[in-house]
């Protein structure tokens, strides 16, 4: 099948964006938190120095930099490669989610919207667990959609496995489970899925059981959370800025402008 010229153009622009925003910073010096990743990878989570902040090493992510440490030593590019690959996979999965829940032809639009977010570009070249978390979260959403569309138990089990990994990537990802809950509840309440409440409850219980060990540990760590606060809680203004309302408004305007057949053809996947 021949590839349309607009797709080739957009692919070239995407590659240029990734090279400039993700690849070029990959060999720069580590910053403070990345040195924490190096410490955990080299000395392990049981090192006495981590007793003051045991939550630092609570992530399955550190298996990846440990592999880099064994193969390539303390290499900035080697350590950050995992985040770059994870964010690339996350970008692909987010595009698939957008095509499934918004419009089949909006994937390219969403990809470039993501590339305009500073947090995504920063985390793609950051030797920390957040890019892996974004990848697992996006994969969980896509599997949740597939399960609710198909009604197959195996799709629900796949969603539960991936969703159970998310909190194990980093403890800060616990609010994302509200996304899973809200989307599934709305679909079930509207009857827009072959999944029945019984199957949904079974999958949810399986996920809850898988998360119990992480939840118990998180509660134990939360007792000492106040001792690790280094900045005041964010304000309502910071929350508003984090929601990227300007980007959402711009995306809505862009979607309206491109809603004609000729405009959408540029973003056809």
What does the pLDDT look like over 81-134, one tens digit per residue?
Answer: 999 999 999 999 999 999 999 888 888 889 998 999 999 999 999 999 999 999
Please indicate, yes or no, if residue 140 is contained in any of the structural domains.
Answer: yes
d(C-alpha 122, C-alpha 131), whole Å:
9
Q: What is the pLDDT of residue 173?
A: 94
Confidence of residue 228 (pLDDT cuts 50, 70, 90): low
To which H or E segment does residue 69 belong? helix 63-72
Residue 10: CA count within 13 A, CB half-sphere = 18
| Selected residue with higher pLDDT from 232 and 195 | 195
Read off the pLDDT of residues 32-82 as tens digits, 9 standing for 90 and up: 889 989 999 888 877 887 776 777 778 999 999 999 988 888 889 999 999
Please indicate, yes or no, if residue 253 is contained in any of the structural domains.
Answer: no
DSSP state of 21: I
Which tokens belong to 40?
Answer: 């955990």
Q: Is the pLDDT of residue 269 over 60?
A: no
d(C-alpha 90, C-alpha 183), whole Å:
19
Domain boundary pick from 94, 128, 162? 128
Q: What is the pLDDT of residue 229?
A: 61
Q: Quick one: average pLDDT of 3-19?
A: 79
Q: Is the pLDDT of residue 263 over 60?
A: no
Residues 111 and 94 in one domain: yes
Average pLDDT, the chain: 86
Please indicate, yes or no, if residue 13 is contained in any of the structural domains.
Answer: yes
Domain boundary pick from 128, 163, 196? 128
88-120 burial, b for 16+ CB within 10 Å, e for fewer? ebbbbbbbbbbbeeeeebbbbbbbebbbeeeeb
d(C-alpha 51, C-alpha 72), whole Å:
28
Residues 3 and 66 in one domain: yes
Residue 215: CA count within 13 A, CB half-sphere = 10
- Structurally, the chain folds into a number of domains equal to 2
Q: What is the pLDDT of residue 195?
A: 96
Residues 11 and 87 in one domain: yes
244-253 burial, b for 16+ CB within 10 Å, e for fewer? beeeeeebee
Q: What is the pLDDT of residue 204?
A: 96
Question: In this structure, what are the phi and psi dihedrals at residue 165, rounded to the nearest 5 degrees?
Answer: -75, -25
Secondary structure of residue 162 in the 3-state scheme:
helix
Give the structural domain span for 17. Answer: 1-128
Domain boundary pick from 204, 219, 234? 219
Residues 176 and 119 in one domain: no
Q: What is the pLDDT of residue 223?
A: 72
> Is the distance from CB of 163 to CB of 140 less than 8 angstroms?
yes
**pTM of the prediction?**
0.85
Q: Is the pLDDT of residue 261 over 70?
A: no
- pLDDT exceeding 90 applies to what percent of the chain? 57
Confidence of residue 227 (pLDDT cuts 50, 70, 90): low
Residues 53 and 104 in one domain: yes
Read off the pLDDT of residues 148-198 as tens digits, 9 standing for 90 and up: 999 999 999 999 999 999 999 999 899 999 999 999 999 999 998 999 999
Contacts of 17 (CB under 8 A, 6+ apart): 112, 115
């Amino acid at each position: 099948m021949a590839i349309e010229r607009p797709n080739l153009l957009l692919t070239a622009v995407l590659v240029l964006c990734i090279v400039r925003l993700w690849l070029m910073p990959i060999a720069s010096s580590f910053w403070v938190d990345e040195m924490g990743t190096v410490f955990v990878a080299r000395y392990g989570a049981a090192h006495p120095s981590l007793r003051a902040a045991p939550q630092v090493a609570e992530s399955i992510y550190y298996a990846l930099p440990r592999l880099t440490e064994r193969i390539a030593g303390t290499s900035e590019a080697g350590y950050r490669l995992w985040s770059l690959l994870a964010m690339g996979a996350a970008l692909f999965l987010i595009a698939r989610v957008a095509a499934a829940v918004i419009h089949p032809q909006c994937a390219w639009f969403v990809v470039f919207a993501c590339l305009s977010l500073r947090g995504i570009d920063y985390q793609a070249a950051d030797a920390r667990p957040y890019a892996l978390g974004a990848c697992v979260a996006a994969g969980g959403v896509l599997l949740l959609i597939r399960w609710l569309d198909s009604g197959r138990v195996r799709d629900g089990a796949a969603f539960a496995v991936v969703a159970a990994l998310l909190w194990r990537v980093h403890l800060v990802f616990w609010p994302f489970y509200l996304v899973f809950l809200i989307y599934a509840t709305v679909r079930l309440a509207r009857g827009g899925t072959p999944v029945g409440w019984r199957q949904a409850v079974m999958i949810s219980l399986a996920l809850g059981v898988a998360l119990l060990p992480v939840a118990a540990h998180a509660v134990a760590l939360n007792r000492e959370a106040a001792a690790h606060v280094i900045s005041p809680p964010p304000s309502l203004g910071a929350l508003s800025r984090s929601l990227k309302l300007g980007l959402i408004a711009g995306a809505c305007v862009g979607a309206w402008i491109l809603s004609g057949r000729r405009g959408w053809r540029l973003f056809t996947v």
